[in-house]
Amino acid sequence: MLLTPQAMTDPTAIAKAVTEFVQKTPHCKPVFTAWLGEHLVREGRNDFTRHKIPSFRTPENAVEAFAFLSAYHQNQQLLMQAPAAGDQHCTQADAVGARLIIRTAIEEKRDFLSTTETRAVMHTFGIKMTQAIEAANANQAMVAAESLGFPVCIKVNSPKLTHKSDVGGVKLNIQTGQAVRDEFKQMMARIKSAEPETEVLGVTIEPMYQSTSARELIVGAIRDPVFGPAITFGSGGTMVEVLKDLSIGLPPLNAFIANRMITRTKVSKMLGAFRGQPAVQVSAIVEVLLRVSDMVSQLPEIIELDINPLLADEHGVMAVDARIRVKELDMHQTPYQHMAIHPYPAELIQKVQTKTGLAVIVRPIRPEDAKMEVDFVDNLSERSRYLRFMGNLQKLSPAMLSRFTQIDYDREMAFIITTEDENAQTIEIAVARYTTNPDGNSCEMAIVVRDDFQHQGLGELLLGSLINHAKSKGLKTMEGEVLNENKGMLKLAKGFNFKLASIEGDHLVTAISLSLWE
């Protein structure tokens, strides 16, 4: 884009040059213009308007518009994030074991897990923690230290003391057994003086974690009365209350959201290489966030969790201290009821072979299935689209696409069936969905199968899955409306014992209804 010296003083010539550049540049980045003035730049501003190039009267407005565009892009990326599957990092047996540990503490009327119990639950979910041995007296502390090997650290064992360092409850780098005995006695005296009413169970002896490049982080979880569990990440160590460098995310997290939580903190700038320090293994931090997400999703009894400090270096992460607070559950609480966002129900995924031998996967829909959903509707015949949507729909609107793929797994369900085409690409060939009505007892359903995959039992497979899921949610009635000319759907409904009834004043549609508990 070259301009003569004379043209560079002509706003109209500049506007035309910018317009030509934008039109001739493939995949051009967004261009924002700010024209200061009125009469001299009016023609240039009008030229931008005709060619749909944003034009603002001040640079501040242009920057603000760019910020809105950036925020919109970020929000769209977040909307496309599927809630991570529950129990994705631990086996069911592990989760059961963790529940038994927590149940024991609750039955003993304890609000906090012991040091040993906390480490057991953390290890259950794959979070690395330093080894610890509890000691009730000075001699036990010395024996534990000799067993672990020096150097060791001593920490007061009192679940209700959140900040042990503040009351002299932490001593690092102890090198001998005699020093351990002496420190035990001195620590007990300090704690009794500082916190005379606090129950002290003794101390824990832990090996010193050796790392010259570790950054101190904190990962935690709290229970909000409205939003349920919320996960926190930020700067850790003894300065956590002063720095207040935290970001918050609602579980279930996935890798995208976890990374976004990390980048929103000030400490994230210290995770890269600087001043001879190697870069931290950020993927290991993300893994911890995901596993904490799993933990609070699977164990609703956990109402507070603190991992501080979480030491991170180039080799990975290590939790040095942690605290878990628990509370007894409401006996009638359903899975994930304590969460604002229902996790992706991975347990509902099933591989099936149809009666014609076609290998398919039946699973709940995900936000990232948006493109596949568009292709699915595009591949339906006009008649199939008419029968499904009861109108001459040609394309899914962005609003419809968002509504179909970004669902609340707690109040609705959409099962899709996928298979591979001749190019080994995954394609969607059928979908069924229901949405819970405002009464909380009934739901409305719909099913459609791609024309070239009909008569293979896909409709029966989807409707059966839909009915079973609605029953599991305690719904009592499944309803729908079907065009009278949709003979295949009416036959399918009859096969599942739906009751068919005409709609008063509408001779084109039949109402179908199934009592789920008869």
Please give the pLDDT value at position 46.
85
Please give the pLDDT value at position 77.
67
Please give the pLDDT value at position 87.
47
Please give the pLDDT value at position 93.
46
Please give the pLDDT value at position 91.
47
Non-local (6+) Cβ contacts of 392 within 8 A are: 382, 385, 386
Please give the pLDDT value at position 164.
82
Full set of structural domains in the chain with CATH: 7-79 (3.40.50.261), 83-130+214-341 (3.30.470.20), 132-208 (3.30.1490.20), 346-515 (3.40.630.30)
Strands 55-56, 33-34: pairing kind:
parallel
Count of other CB atoms within 10 angstroms of residue 10: 16
Residue ranges in 362-424 assigned as alpha helix (H): 370-378, 382-389, 398-405
Strands 215-224, 302-313: pairing kind:
antiparallel
* pLDDT mean by block of 10 residues, the chain; 518 residues: 57 81 80 82 84 86 85 68 52 75 93 91 92 91 92 87 82 92 91 86 90 91 90 88 86 88 92 88 94 92 93 93 89 77 86 91 91 93 90 82 87 95 92 94 95 93 95 94 93 95 86 91
User: Could you give the CA distance from residue 231 to residue 249 in angstroms, rounded to a whole number?
Assistant: 5
354 burial class (0-12, 13-18, 19+ CB within 10 angstroms)?
middle
Among residues 226, 247, 258, 259, the alpha carbon closest in space to that of 339 is found at 226
Please give the pLDDT value at position 288.
95
- The one-letter amino acid code at 355 reads K
Non-local (6+) Cβ contacts of 507 within 8 A are: 484
Non-local (6+) Cβ contacts of 368 within 8 A are: 80, 82, 405
User: Could you give the CA distance from residue 416 to residue 430 in angstroms, rounded to a whole number?
Assistant: 6
Backbone angles phi, psi at 77, to 5 degrees: -65, -40
Please give the pLDDT value at position 84.
56
Please give the pLDDT value at position 517.
85
Write down the pTM of the prediction.
0.73
Non-local (6+) Cβ contacts of 15 within 8 A are: 33, 41, 43, 44, 45, 47, 48
CA distances to 152, 177, 192, 200 from 181, rounded to whole Å, are 12, 6, 17, 17
Please give the pLDDT value at position 460.
94
